[in-house]
A and B are shown apart, each in its own frame.
Chain A
Amino acid sequence: MIQTLRENKKLQGLLLILPTLLWMFGLLIIPLILTFVTSFGGRSADGNVIYRFSLNNYLRLIGLTPEGGFDPLYLQIIWRSLTLAFQTTILVILMAYPLAYFIARAPAKRRNTLLFLVLVPLWTNFVIRIYAWIMILRTQGVLNSVIGWLVGLAGGHFQPFELYPSQSAVLIGMVYEFLPFMILPIYTSLEKIDNSLFEAAADLGANALRTFWRVTLPLSMPGVVAGTILVFVPVIGTFIVSDILGGRQVILVGNLIQRQFLDARDPAFGSAASIFLMLMTLIVTLYYTRRFGFGEEIAAA
């Protein structure tokens, strides 16, 4: 038997991949297929799934009621999720780029420490980090207290911001949570750029700004693209940030799905929303990978 195994490389490979396949099959493929099947089902009076084939759940998502009317409620939720995901991604890029650039241009021996400092907040807990933002953003919170104190010193009167709970608070929370996921890949691609390219650009007469536009930025695009996927995918599907910082008023696709499974007890509709979310994400991701290609940067991050 050992002899057979020794000679059969295919069998060796298959045996090594077998547990992974079992796991991916049982906890990824079958669940996704089941979700897909469930998404065509309905809801019984006691909240159980009725398996059947009906497009009702999907029609409901895009606003068509069974009675033939139009209700944009879910389209608004989808639109809000997309807007918030794009806003978050853009803000994160704008903040991550200068910091990644700063680290990449720091003396080599300090780079690891500076990068490490970006990672430390990630190692605190996701939920706890959002909770910290409640303390900062609430009306009597840290932010308003500090500003109020400063304005008071100047003799003025300060009307506190009412940031929590609100969609802005959700945006701030999302940017905070996912900023490190953008900094890492951008840094990785900036760090890889050969220094002689800058010298060549300078030698050819480009000034600092033109060097940035024509050399640095294009060469760091793979990092930006990888970071965009690492940020966009979790942001579009999250429900805790909006749940905690939006005070249950900012409903996103993630919240919609979660509620179907917990409060509303309509798993079939929740499954349809989930499949819809997955397709939406895959389309964006595929567009990106086709357009720019990525993989290496994600691995590096």
Chain B
Amino acid sequence: MSSTKRSPWITLSALLIYFFLYAPIVVLIVFAFNSSKTNIVFEGVVNQGACGPFYWFCKLFSNDDVLDAAKNTLTIAFISTIVSAIIGTMAALALQRYDFPVKRASEAALYIPIVIPEIVMGIGILVFFSALFTWFNSTFGLVGDGRLAMGLGTVIVSHIAFSIPFVTLVVRARLHGFDKSLEEAAMDLGANEFTTFRRVTFPLIAPGVLSGALLAFTLSLDDFIITFFTTGPGSTTLPIYVYGLLRRIVTPEVNALSTIWILTVLIVVFISQRLEARR
């Protein structure tokens, strides 16, 4: 489609929709500087303590719960991204390059997480882990803190599960146009299978793996439903923490947190776009 003269109505509605998309974010950021603790009406810019208008930001950083949640969120996101990027890339290679007995079944299984509601997968995993842990703890007579229970481990394992299909999808798209004669050329020139993968295949599909990993990272950071059903004491993530706050009293600390979140994500995305543009 090329650019042609547009009707002013299209432009106007586009502007309104952009406004709709950004209004909540602007509100969030503005209220991070609210002087009212109840955060219902904007009562002017806060100017309190050593931090002045950044009072809520300072308060946030002295809040151990928030810092723990942030640490958990990042730990989960990093580990699940790395693991799912590796497994997903392997799956993409298998599905794009090879013929094997369970191929169609594997492809179907990889589509399921995309076409069923997340809550179905979430409670499935919950049912599975609680049954597994109950059985395991009673069979091996584990008691007290030694018992297996929901926690960081279950969240990470579950995040990997829903990230794999997305990584596979992205990497497969990249592999789709891959010129196999490049690999043959490498082998012809004396590289064995491993060296061929390291020196030729991987560098060429790396951008695909990277965007797959970025997608997995975003999904993990943003995930609420699966985390909600697989989390346990001590593995609260930021989305779960904010959800908990919403049910009690919400102070502008949450807005400060959101502001930092948005800015961090924007910086990360900006840098990655820059890197992408350079290659």
Contacts and interface: CB of A to CB of B under 8 A. Distances in A.
A26 B125 CA distance: 9
Contacts of A285: 115
Interface string A55-77: 00000000000000000000000
A239 B119 contact: yes
Interface string B204-221: 000000000000001001
Interface size bracket, B side: 35 or more
Query: Chain B interface secondary structure, helix, strand, loop or mixed?
Result: helix
A190 B1 contact: yes
Interface in A1-26: 6, 9-10, 12-14, 16-17, 19-21, 23-26
Interface stretch (B44-52, B143-151, B177-185, B242-250): B242-250
Given A132-B27, A261-B126, A299-B169, A20 B91 contact: yes
Interface in A263-301: 267, 270-271, 274-275, 277-278, 281-282, 285, 298-300
Contacts of B117: 233-234, 236-238, 254, 277-278, 281
Interface in B101-133: 101-103, 106, 109-110, 112-121, 123-128, 131
Interface residues of A, number: 95
Given A123-B218, A128-B254, A28 B21 contact: no
A254 B69 CA distance: 25
Nearest to B9: A98
A118 B14 CA distance: 11
Q: Among A19, A38, A108, A117, which residue has the most Cβ atoms of chain B within 10 A? A: A19
Interface of A: 6, 9-10, 12-14, 16-17, 19-21, 23-32, 34-35, 38, 95-96, 98-99, 101-108, 116-118, 120-129, 131-136, 138, 140-142, 145, 176, 179-180, 190-193, 195, 198, 229, 233-234, 236-240, 244, 254, 257-258, 261, 267, 270-271, 274-275, 277-278, 281-282, 285, 298-300
